[in-house]
Structure 1
Amino acid sequence: MMIPQGILIVFLFTLIHESIHRTPFRTQWLNDCIARVCSVLLVLPSDWFRYFHLAHHRFTQDHENDPELISPKPETMRQYLVHLSGIPVWWSHIKTLVINASGHCSDTFVPAKGHRKVRSEAQIMIAVYALMIAVSVHLQTAVLVYVWVLPAILGQPFLRIYLLAEHGRCPYVANMLENSRTTTTTWLVRKLAWNMPYHAEHHAYPTVPFYRLPEFHALIETELKQTENGYVRFHAKYIEQIR
């Protein structure tokens, strides 16, 4: 059961994503609250990620300014397997948390007015983790390891498989209908990912809420430049290109 549980945990990333766009709930405070709870489970500070993600939307596939391109997509089979393992992303999250907590955040997408916010956020998250560890030691229990840590580690490769299709092997151009990919998939995956397989649609018009994306897809489907029929097919083609 750890793998299904882990998939549910790591796909909270898509809920963080929606919450920082503030589309799941009507009130900003509730969106922000949900994002912060999920951020603890994924070791991904949500305020910092909001700055990161807004820059990604503004400069999608721009080598100079898209923060997602700081970590390049895998170009060899070894890089591909390491990427899917989830190890690099966990390390990146932990490193970001420590740097932000120390007050040494140098990310250009974080404005000067946001430095205090991301520092405080990281410090609070580290305090929460320290409290979790202290309580676990006091109670002599490893329950968090088995219901959270190990499942999340085992589930992360499935999130990597999903996310790589969003922009992997897409051209480095400004056109959002060309630099982002929409992937046809099952009802379950669409629900699990808050309709983000409609990714080109989301990038073209990020103000369209997740629950309207299927309708929006029907309107602009013929304009999409990058599409794929399923994640298995995407990865089969990806592997073929890097072998």
Structure 2
Amino acid sequence: MPAPSDHTSVVTALAPDTRAALTARSNTAGLRHLALYLGALAACTAGIALQAPLWPLLMLPQGVLLVFLFTLSHECTHQTPFRSRWLNEAAGHVCALAIALPFVWFRYFHLAHHKFTNDPDRDPELEHGPRPETLPQWLRYLSGWGYWRGMALTLWRNAFGTMDAPYLPQRRHAAMRLEARVLLAVHAAALLTLLVSPLVLWLWLLPLLIGQPFLRAYLLAEHGLCPPVANMLENSRTTLTNRLVRFLAWNMPYHAEHHAFPAVPFHQLPAFHAITRAHLASMSHGYGAFTADYLRQLPR
């Protein structure tokens, strides 16, 4: 009998004890990872704030650590980084403050993405058009301009406009409206501190701009060059990379595995990768290799 090759058959074939082990969530694993992550962020923040020798160079790791909070927020939408629901909710809302990504809204946006992955007509990640198709579009994408513009419009629409996206349940509109207004108020207050001190500029604004291209390059690999099919082991890419990148991204480079079985928490994804690797149709050996492949298919 041939081995299963689509995500449904792979997951269905799991023995009950294997499934239970793979989906076991852990406060200990989540808090340990978070403590290391926040420790690195605190060290960069302190170095910049105290103007340690060569402190401007710290804005690069500061920015990368800040923008990659996206991956923690992403995991929190699935309630998987921690066993306790309140920890997942708290972490998601704190990330929203750092990267202007409204957590309640993002949960429904992201669940729709899982349901319609890479469907050009229904995946909300593609609702503003396809992924970059020319070199200028790719460079614009890396700059993060589309993200910041999109988030500003989303926050404003959620706060004061009409929420008409089909994936946003009406019963949650009030929560999303309150969330957007709070985020706008907090960010406006943060910007006003620039009248007194440039600290917000060095610790937050400039690092976010510097770090964004690294996150964009990482995110493009998740589904870029993957076919618009239903099989999650084809429409999502796993990128084999080093421990540092896996740490920053909460093991989300195992992205096909995550889409195949979203209930698997980040710390169990390497084990699930060992099970699924033979069935992966979209896989790259590093982000440099993926980027080179992506650039090769762009028109000259």
Instruction: Answer whether TM exceeds 0.5 for this pair.
Output: yes
Written as runs of structure 1 = structure 2, the 5 A alignment for 1:141-220 is 141-220=197-276
Question: 4+ residue runs of structure 1 moved beyond 4 angstroms?
Answer: none
Partner of 1:42: 99
Could you tell me how far 1:220 is from its partner in structure 2? 1.2
1:55 matched to 2:135? The reply is no
Kept in 2: contact 1:166–1:181 (CA 8 A): yes
Task: Provide the TM-score with structure 1 as the length reference.
Answer: 0.96
Question: Per-residue displacement from partner, 1:80-128 (whole Å, max 9, x unpaired)?
Answer: 0000111111110111001100041222110111111111100111111
Kept in 1: contact 2:222–2:253 (CA 8 A): yes
Equivalent of residue 147 in structure 2, options 89, 92, 95? 89
Kept in 2: contact 1:103–1:115 (CA 8 A): no
1:104 matched to 2:157? The reply is no
Within 2, Cα distance between the matches of 1:107 and 1:101?
A: 14
The amino acid that maps onto 1:210 is: F
Equivalent of residue 68 in structure 2, options 6, 11, 20? 11
Question: Which deviates further from its counterpart, 103-112 or 161-170?
Answer: 103-112
Other structure's SS at 1:13 match:
helix
Gap runs ≥5 in structure 1 = none
Change (3 A) 1:135 1:78: closer
The amino acid that maps onto 2:121 is: E
Other structure's SS at 1:172 match:
coil
Question: Which deviates further from its counterpart, 192-201 or 15-24?
Answer: 15-24
Within 2, Cα distance between the matches of 1:26 and 1:183?
A: 27
Partner of 1:75: 133
Question: Which deviates further from its counterpart, 114-123 or 17-26?
Answer: 17-26
Question: Per-residue displacement from partner, 1:45-81 (whole Å, max 9, x unpaired)?
Answer: 0100000000001111122211011132000001000
Other structure's SS at 2:239 match:
strand
Q: How many residues align?
A: 241
The amino acid that maps onto 2:227 is: P
The amino acid that maps onto 1:108 is: P
Equivalent of residue 113 in structure 1, options 150, 171, 174? 171
Could you tell me how far 1:136 is from its partner in structure 2? 4.5
The amino acid that maps onto 1:6 is: G
Q: Give 1 or 2 for the bigger CA radius of gyration.
A: 2
Question: Which deviates further from its counterpart, 141-150 or 126-135?
Answer: 126-135
Other structure's SS at 2:182 match:
helix
Other structure's SS at 2:297 match:
helix
Could you tell me how far 1:131 is from its partner in structure 2? 2.5
Within 2, Cα distance between the matches of 1:118 and 1:103?
A: 11
Written as runs of structure 1 = structure 2, the 5 A alignment for 1:24-43 is 24-43=81-100
Task: Provide the TM-score with structure 2 as the length reference.
Answer: 0.78
Kept in 2: contact 1:57–1:203 (CA 8 A): yes
Partner of 2:292: 236
